[in-house]
Structure 1
Amino acid sequence: MEINSTMTNYENLPLYGVNVKIFVKLGLIDSIGWTKRFLVCLIPIITYVGQIIHIFKSWDDDIGEMSMNLHILLFTTHSIVRLWLMVTKPKDFERFFLCVEQWYTNIKRNDDPQMVGTLQKIIKRTQLVNKIAICVAAGGTIAAFFYPLSFDGHKHMVSVQYPFFDALQTPFYEFLFLIQVLCLAPINVILTLPLTNIYLISLMFGELVLKDLCVKLRNIRSENEEIMLQEFKQCIAYHRKIIDWCDDLQDLLSMDGFFHVALFGMMLCMLLFFLSMIHDLRLIVTILTFVSYTTYMLFSTYYYANKLATASLEVANAAYDTPWYRGNLEMRKCVITMIARCQKPLQMNAGGLYPMTMETFQAVLRVSYSYFSLLQGLSQQ
């Protein structure tokens, strides 16, 4: 009974809103059965196999359409990676959400007006993020639906081929079209935006607890050396807890972040290349929607990861602002230790290789444009 109550608590946490509930309902987390997970995985995997077969069989076809097919393949690859993360790490996600739920409850229970006010601002910001995500999801889904209708003849949202039947012939075409519209598109949206929102909200929460730590440090004003040392040691333990929590978030985010760097630059490149080769207004609007969708996914994650790293550096200033000069020798050593520890920001790393900062985001955009220019030059030769 106690476990189920706790599970319900994090599922209904205002901080995450509906994002966690979606994964609970699908059975990707907080579930002991594999039936729902298997059904959720089945359609994307079968579609992914059909995409690869189609890419190989149509490699020598129109280069513009091939670039669009490669973009959709990369997008599906990212969805498959996220699906694999959810299926293989459900307990890690559950523990992470439980930790956030307990921390959230403690902050509200302490009844610090400044932190409660900041927490309410974070909740309002997460609600805004959710609304933006809904608009982006709606735009992306509508664009994906109208994309195949912009061509003459039969075409799927996700072009596929299979060895035993022609996917463009009746009744296979109609059946696969309905499957992609009613099942594949919602699953891809669920695997991208809600999980992205969970990462963004977690990064915002990390920024919040770092600000909470700074407040605790700046509130150390006791004249008693022992009390001041004890309060500072509590802040050190709190900082250690934040670092451990960021490590847990890093474990959940690292692989996905790597594919952000590895795939999103290529996805933007393919979209821009296809955009440069078309003249149909319907297709242009559709591709611009895809570009906006892809850019939002990349920018939002790196923006909030960068804010977390910046907030972690402020802890050193807050530690220095304590009246350490009135403390004993041990107090001064503790202050030096914390300041030294804070010199390395709490950065999220993509695959443990690339720091998720705005500089990396700009580098991805530059690489994407370089690939686009190269492709455009090759196509004109």
Structure 2
Amino acid sequence: MFEDIPLIYMSIKTLKFWSLIYDRSWRRLVCLSMTTFMVLTQFSYIFQTDEGIQAIIRNAYCTVLWFNTIFRAYMLLLHGERYQNLIALMVKYYNELRQSKDMYIKHLLDEADGNGKIMVRGNLFLGLLTSIGFGCYPLFANERVLPFGSMIPGINELKTPFYQFWYVYQMTMTPIGCCMYIPYTSLVVGLIMFGIVMCKSLQYRLKTLKNIEYNSHQSIQNSVIECIKYQNRIIRYIEVINQLTTYVFLIEFLAFGTLLCALLFLLIIIDSTAQTVIVCAYISMTFAQILALYWYANELREQNLAVAAAAYETDWFLFDTSTQKYILLIIMRAQRPSTIKVGDNYPMTLELFQSLLNASYTYFTLLKRVYG
């Protein structure tokens, strides 16, 4: 069904392999049970550790990242049917556009597919670098540490042979975690990117109304009515994406500011060049994931607004009165753009992303001043 759509194929294939969507197999039990257990040991560590601020910050980052990972996985399972229906809807709309004979529409789809493949591969590459960083960090530490701080009652994880076993366990979980976290982001961004294509397609339909003979008022009116129907289709499509992801993005929003602030502070207190490089890899991966979401969500909102401009730029003054009213309906609805929201309240825009960065930097400077 989705195999011919490069925009989402790789992401769905990875999630499907781990049985987080479509399939049900032993892989789902393995990845969820083992990662959930590891997250529980991480929380145990955070609440009971007496290590220094440097260890606490790094391991708090890892804990939040892993919690976000399993939260996404459980949301996929909880709303699996709705995600599958959304993907089926996207595939249907995609194939309808692909069947168009217009070269502009085909160019939009090809461009989206190309950008989607680049994004997926780039995110997986950053995930690989981060995984390597997790594994290498203990090698450059001044004392024995694990890739992710954990605590199991009755066991000293830093003593042989528990340390070696737990190190292998955590590093085995790391690529699995990447395959749970990164493809979800890439899938959602791919769905949003297709929403952008739909908006541009609607704009194109409106702009080409002038190619219809003006004496054929009925043909123009029918075309405008089809544009209204297509606009409603876009609205429903975006609403479904928002319903499935808005609270996932709320968790991400709350976590990202804290993580970025903590990692920036960690950069100034570590004294090893290798560890500095590794922390920079952590920051790059987290920043790239969140930026991709906000960038394309903001673009989706802007392209929805651009529908109003495209409708106004038609030769509406040459149309009959009833058609002019239909054009007005398109403009009025487009001026209330459908968008992806954080916690179903705040539109995901670059302005919100900038505010998040400003808040993170403010808390970073406060930490720096307090701890000197």
* TM-score, normalised with respect to structure 2: 0.95
The answer for the alignment partner of 1:55 in structure 2 is 46
Query: In 2, Cα distance between the equivalents of 1:134 and 1:180?
Result: 19
Question: Which digits, 9 at most, give the CA deviation of each residue in 1:187-244, with x for residues without a partner?
Answer: 2211222111112222211111111111111222332222211110111000000000
User: C-alpha root-mean-square deviation of aligned residues, in Å?
Assistant: 1.5
Residue type at the aligned position of 1:124: G
- Change beyond 3 A, Cα 1:119–1:12: closer
Contact 1:37 1:87 in 2 (8 A): no
Asked if 1:216 corresponds to 2:216, the answer is: no
1:167-206 map, 5 Å: 167-182=157-172, 184-206=173-195
Asked if 1:155 corresponds to 2:145, the answer is: yes
Q: Given the alignment, which residue of 358, 362, 365 partners 1:370?
A: 362
Q: Given the alignment, which residue of 260, 267, 270 partners 1:275?
A: 267
The answer for the alignment partner of 2:329 in structure 1 is 337
Query: CA offset at residue 26 of structure 1?
Result: 1.1
Q: Given the alignment, which residue of 297, 311, 324 partners 2:316?
A: 324
Q: Given the alignment, which residue of 296, 301, 313 partners 2:305?
A: 313
Query: In 1, Cα distance between the equivalents of 2:277 and 2:16?
Result: 35
Contact 1:12 1:21 in 2 (8 A): no
- Change beyond 3 A, Cα 1:154–1:165: same
The answer for the alignment partner of 2:36 in structure 1 is 45
Question: Which digits, 9 at most, give the CA deviation of each residue in 1:49-76, with x for residues without a partner?
Answer: 1111111221x43112211121111111
Asked if 1:143 corresponds to 2:143, the answer is: no
Query: In 1, Cα distance between the equivalents of 2:131 and 2:9?
Result: 21
Residue type at the aligned position of 1:234: E
Q: Which runs of 5+ in 1 are unaligned?
A: 1-8
Residue correspondences, number: 369
Q: Given the alignment, which residue of 72, 80, 90 partners 2:80?
A: 90
Contact 1:147 1:157 in 2 (8 A): yes
Query: CA offset at residue 15 of structure 1?
Result: 2.0
Aligned residue for 2:269, secondary structure, equals: coil
Aligned residue for 2:2, secondary structure, equals: helix
Contact 1:207 1:308 in 2 (8 A): yes
Aligned residue for 2:178, secondary structure, equals: helix
Query: CA offset at residue 34 of structure 1?
Result: 6.2
Moved more, 323-332 or 42-51: 323-332
Asked if 1:231 corresponds to 2:231, the answer is: no
Query: In 2, Cα distance between the equivalents of 1:112 and 1:61?
Result: 63
Contact 2:305 2:337 in 1 (8 A): yes
* TM-score, normalised with respect to structure 1: 0.93
User: How many percent of aligned residue pairs carry the same amino acid?
Assistant: 25
Query: CA offset at residue 263 of structure 1?
Result: 0.3
Query: In 2, Cα distance between the equivalents of 1:84 and 1:29?
Result: 11
Residue type at the aligned position of 2:37: I
Query: In 2, Cα distance between the equivalents of 1:281 and 1:57?
Result: 29
Query: In 2, Cα distance between the equivalents of 1:113 and 1:12?
Result: 19
The answer for the alignment partner of 1:5 in structure 2 is none
